[in-house]
């Protein structure tokens, strides 16, 4: 007779959470659809690719992949420190911004602690807060922008441990100037921390990023190699903050989480200034073309400081969801915001000309079908 065993019970907090992840990725959608996408324009990846020098460095490092990576990312942190003009003890390297956000929440948020974000902002941050028992308080966007002063007011009201803002923003692509972010910082609760997500800052106009105030204990900022440097699949990013705060990460982080291949690629990418400038120009041209394609089809692109464009359908969330689904059926992967009124938009990542050609071909056909129905 076979004894039937059950999986031991989860701890109470994870047992109370839904068995979901923040995103269903394009690879899973391709398996679900049984075919690859013709145009992969939904995950804010850099379709122009990583710097050739970074690819070569990663290929060379692969031969040494039998070794653990440098647990301190010493060379990469020093390269970042030189470029940012800060001391290396102000920098923490981790498995992309997503991994670092999880560590930050674990470090700073106890069960029941208040955390403030915008309703409709980057959902992975919310996922980490829920996973560690924090209590999310949300404020609405204002004119398709995150509202820094409403966020600060809510943080003061609830005594937030963390207040999150992305600048530029995902999913709308909008941004604030550095003076606005600094004003927000000054009115936050004294014992709270401003979490400034700068994943898209390389694409933004000059004056978007505040000066590096690395000795201000009220602020931590996160950046990544996933977007401008085209290395999303490598999973490497970094945080910049007060040395005492950065030291806290070493208490809880996965010390070998960033391997030698990722570190080598990131170091090489940092040196490719000319390549980065050329890629930013390609992104700007692609954003403009998405705007032209949208206008040709009677919908309007929002001005963007990222590598994607939010496009206002002029309808509601139900219409936008049907448009995303219809484009997907035709082989074009895009996404959309999840919260009204932002969900009247779809979000289209930039990409090479051949993928935007597919978008230009498919979009009018899907829109015509939806408008007639």
Which CATH fold would you assign to the domain 52-271? 3.40.640
Mean pLDDT of the 97-119 span: 98
* Domain regions of the chain by residue span: 23-49+274-372, 52-271
Q: pLDDT value at position 24?
A: 86
Q: Is the per-residue pLDDT at 8 higher than 70?
A: yes
Q: Phi/psi at 65 (nearest 5 deg)?
A: -75, -5
For residue 118, give the 3-state DSSP assignment: strand
Higher pLDDT, 190 or 201: 201
- SS3 per-residue string spanning 164-232: EEECCCCCCCCCCCHHHHHHHHHHCCCCCEEEEECCCHHHCCCCCCCCCCCCCCCEEEEEECCCCCCCH
Mean pLDDT of the 242-255 span: 97
Q: Is the per-residue pLDDT at 151 higher than 70?
A: yes
Q: pLDDT value at position 41?
A: 98
**Assigned token pair, 288:** 């403009």
Whole-prediction pTM value? Answer: 0.96
Q: How confident is the model at residue 22 (pLDDT cuts 50, 70, 90)?
A: confident
Portion of the chain with pLDDT greater than 90, in percent = 94
Question: Residue 32 belongs to what H/E stretch?
Answer: helix 26-33
Q: pLDDT value at position 185?
A: 95
Q: Is the per-residue pLDDT at 329 higher than 70?
A: yes
Lowest mean pLDDT among 20-24, 37-41, 164-168, 228-232: 20-24
Q: pLDDT value at position 212?
A: 85
Q: Phi/psi at 238 (nearest 5 deg)?
A: -150, 155
Mean pLDDT of the 18-32 span: 88
Q: pLDDT value at position 1?
A: 60
Q: Is the per-residue pLDDT at 213 higher than 90?
A: no
Task: Identify the CATH class of 23-49+274-372.
Answer: alpha beta
Quote the mean pLDDT of the chain. Answer: 96
User: Is residue 372 within 8 Å of 305, Cβ to Cβ?
Assistant: no
Distances (CA, A) of 39 to 36, 84, 187, 310, 348: 9, 35, 44, 17, 10
Locus of tokens 């065993």: 5
> Could you report the per-residue pLDDT of 274-296, keeping only the tens digit for each?
999 999 999 999 999 999 999 99
Mean pLDDT of the 38-61 span: 97
Distances (CA, A) of 341 to 140, 336, 344: 9, 11, 6
Work out the burial of residue 205: count CB atoms within 10 Å of its CB; fewer than 13 is exposed, 13-18 middle, 19 or more buried. Answer: exposed
């Amino acid at each position: 007779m076979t004894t039937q065993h059950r999986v031991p019970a989860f701890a109470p907090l994870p047992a109370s959470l839904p068995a979901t992840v923040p995103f269903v990725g394009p690879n899973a959608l391709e398996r679900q659809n049984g075919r690859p996408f013709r145009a992969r324009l939904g995950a804010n990846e850099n379709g122009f690719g990583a710097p050739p020098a970074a690819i070569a460095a990663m290929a060379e490092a692969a031969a040494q992949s039998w070794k653990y990576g440098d647990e301190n990312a010493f060379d990469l942190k020093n390269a970042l420190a030189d470029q940012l003009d800060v001391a290396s003890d102000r920098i923490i390297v981790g498995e992309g911004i997503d991994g670092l956000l999880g560590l930050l929440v674990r470090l700073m948020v106890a069960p029941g602690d208040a955390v403030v974000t915008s309703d409709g902002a980057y959902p992975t941050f919310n996922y980490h807060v829920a996973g560690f028992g924090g209590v999310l308080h949300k404020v609405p966007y204002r004119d398709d922008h995150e509202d820094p002063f409403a966020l600060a007011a809510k943080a003061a009201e609830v005594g937030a441990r963390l207040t999150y803002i992305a600048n530029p923003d995902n999913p709308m692509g909008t941004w604030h100037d550095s003076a606005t972010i600094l004003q927000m910082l000054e009115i936050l609760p004294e014992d709270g921390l401003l979490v400034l997500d700068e994943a898209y800052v390389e694409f933004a106009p000059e004056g978007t990023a505040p000066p590096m105030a690395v000795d201000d204990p009220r602020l931590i900022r996160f950046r990544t190699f996933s977007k401008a440097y085209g290395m999303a699949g490598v999973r490497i990013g970094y945080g910049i903050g007060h040395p005492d705060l950065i030291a806290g990460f070493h208490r809880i982080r996965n010390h070998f989480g960033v391997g030698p291949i990722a570190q080598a690629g990131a170091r090489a990418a940092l040196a490719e200034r000319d390549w980065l400038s050329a890629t930013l120009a390609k992104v700007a041209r692609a954003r403009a073309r998405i705007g032209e394609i949208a206008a040709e089809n009677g919908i309007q692109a929002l001005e963007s400081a990222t590598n994607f464009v939010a496009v206002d359908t002029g309808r509601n969330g139900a219409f936008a969801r049907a448009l995303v689904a219809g484009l997907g059926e035709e082989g074009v992967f895009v996404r959309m915001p999840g919260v009204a009124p932002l969900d009247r938009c779809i979000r289209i990542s930039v990409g090479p000309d051949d993928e935007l050609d597919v978008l230009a071909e498919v979009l009018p056909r899907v829109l015509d079908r939806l408008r007639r129905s």
